[in-house]
Amino acid sequence: MMGEIGTVQRFERDGEKADVIVDTGGVNTRTGEHFEDSGDDSQPLPDDSAALQPGAGTGDKQALGYSDPVAANKVAGPGEKRIYSRDPTTGAAVAAVYCKADGTIVIESLAGAPIEIRSTGPVTVDSPDVRLGAGGRQVACVGDFVAGSVHGITMVAAAPVPLLPVPPATPTPTGGCPFVGQIISGVTGVEAGTGDGT
């Protein structure tokens, strides 16, 4: 018997075995054993298309592949790879990992949910330039130099006197005292590498 294409009606899991019930047209409903890549853990949604192939026994079916009917979820271009999860109610993509053809990797929550990285060991971000925020602000590291201004008051004869910079330094536009310093410590357990693995 040749393979069949149908529409997923429901998915059933019983221990290590999983089946998908597929409508192949008319009054025909087929039950196929669900197959997926080792290391992959996913389920089709109702209305997905399913490809069924004959199994080893008479009348047996195997579901070897599925297709998402929501065109808006498909954005990958030539040579690109994108995996995404879907809202079971609407079928809309809600989270994605997108490997683009130019080498960019985008990890995105499409529904405003948090992104969590969990580990019982160290988490290493090995890059010479780590940035935070939509504006691409760089992360300061221990040893970096910083510049700013201090607004202070000294007490002379019980009367407050503004703290002024020592010449040749001049006050900042807001009246502060400029300074240059070096970061000597940071948050415990958080480190930024130099880009060479150290």
Tokens 């995996």: give the residue. 83
What's the confidence (pLDDT) of residue 157? 55
* pLDDT in single tens digits along all 198 residues of the chain: 578 899 999 999 988 889 999 998 877 788 999 998 889 999 999 999 999 998 876 567 999 999 999 999 999 999 999 999 999 999 999 999 999 999 999 999 999 999 999 999 998 888 888 777 776 666 777 778 887 777 655 555 555 555 555 555 565 666 667 778 888 876 655 555 444 444
Q: How far apart are the first and last CA of the chain?
A: 60
Tokens 């669900």: give the residue. 34
What's the confidence (pLDDT) of residue 60? 77
The neighbour count for residue 128, using CB atoms within 10 Å, is 9
Extents of the domains making up the chain: 4-67, 71-109, 137-182
Helix (H, G, I), strand (E, B) or coil at 104: coil
Closest of 187, 160, 165 to residue 175, by C-alpha: 165
